[in-house]
Amino acid sequence: MKLASLLLAGMLALSPHIHAANDAADPLESARWGDMRKEFFGDQTVVFDTRVEVTAPLTAENPMNVPVAVNAAALPDVREVVVFADFNPIVRILEFTPGAAEASLAFRIKLQQSSPVRAAARTGDGVWHVGGTWVTTTGGGCTVPSTGSASPEWQSRLNEVNGRMWSRQGQGERVRLRIIHPMDTGLAPSVPAFHIESLVLADEKTELMTIRTFEPVSENPLFTIDLAPGTDPARIRVTGRDNNGNRINAWVTR
């Protein structure tokens, strides 16, 4: 048993997630947090804040399609939210700007290896509030070509939008939409990066949400957006484009 406890101690010490006090500020104790902070926030004010909730499975069954929900609606005056994964080869996943929508968004991502998945919400006072969670995975999600890139079928349906709205019983509307797109990362051999870059949701009067997406968002992206109570659009227009200039333009109705 002496050998066993030595081995156990050794494994814990070698783990990248257990660090001495020098990195204690990060609740997820990621060796990459220092780099993340520099890359995303420079010298702006950053606080860890449990009001920014990131929900994802502790263990991801499918590294190509890891469900993630970000909810920063408990914070006042959210201007912008950035989502990233410390250990992904492409760390930046997406950014969104809530207009008349709540500061929450659910989507699916590709993970190359186990990593913290974090969301940072910038409030009106310029402070970034960071929340996150660890997702464990066998990995490989970023270097596999999309199924779309292997079959010609998607080409005729590229940027097609399927969407639907649900009433959340007096709490505003829920919008879910899925867009046909391979979302290739450019990291699979001889498959160039090909991904949606921007999406804008709007009703007849106002902008509801702007989403900027990057390579780690899963193939055929699916988004769940909750509108604030009182916004009650009969239909929502979705516009956007990918990095090759192909346009997205569709209406989502009830």
Q: Which residues bind another protein (CB under 8 A)?
A: 4, 7-8, 11-12, 15, 17-18, 27-29, 50, 55-58, 61-62, 65, 67-69, 106, 108, 132-134, 136, 138, 160-166, 174, 176-178, 222, 224, 237, 249-254
Nearer to another protein, 18 or 192 (CB): 18
Structure tokens at 200: 């804008």
Structure tokens at 172: 């505003």
Closer CB to another protein, 178 or 212, in the complex:
178
Considering the complex, state which of residue 188 and residue 193 has its C-beta at the smaller distance from another protein. 188
Quote the least distance from Cβ 169 to another protein, whole Å: 11
Between 174 and 186, whose beta carbon lies closer to another protein?
174
Q: E strands of 72-137, at which residues?
A: 78-85, 92-98, 101-109, 115-123, 128-135
* DSSP reduced 3-state for 35: helix
3-state class (DSSP) for residue 147 = helix
Specify the residue, 46 or 106, whose C-beta has the smaller distance to another protein: 106
Which CB sits closer to another protein, 166 or 244?
A: 166
Cβ 15 to another protein shortest distance, Å? 6
Q: What's the closest the beta carbon of residue 57 comes to another protein, in angstroms?
A: 6
Query: Distance of CA 95 to CAs 26, 37, 79, 84, 242, Å?
Result: 21, 16, 11, 9, 15
Q: Residue 100 CB, nearest distance to another protein (Å)?
A: 19
60 class by beta-carbon count within 10 Å (0-12 exposed, 13-18 middle, 19+ buried): buried
Give the Cα separation of 225 and 163 in Å (integer): 11
124 vs 140, beta carbon nearer another protein = 140
Task: Report how far residue 216's alpha carbon sits from residue 207's, in angstroms, rounded to the nearest whole number.
Answer: 25
- Shortest distance, CB of residue 120 to another protein, whole angstroms? 15
- The total of other beta-carbon atoms located within 10 Å of residue 193's CB is 15
What is the helix (H) or strand (E) element at residue 213, kind and residue range?
strand 207-213
CB of 6 to another protein, least distance (A): 10
Shortest approach of another protein to residue 124 CB, angstroms?
25
Name the token pair of 110.
């590709």
Cα 201 to Cα 217: distance, rounded to the nearest angstrom: 18
> How many C-beta atoms surround the C-beta of residue 178 within 10 A?
15
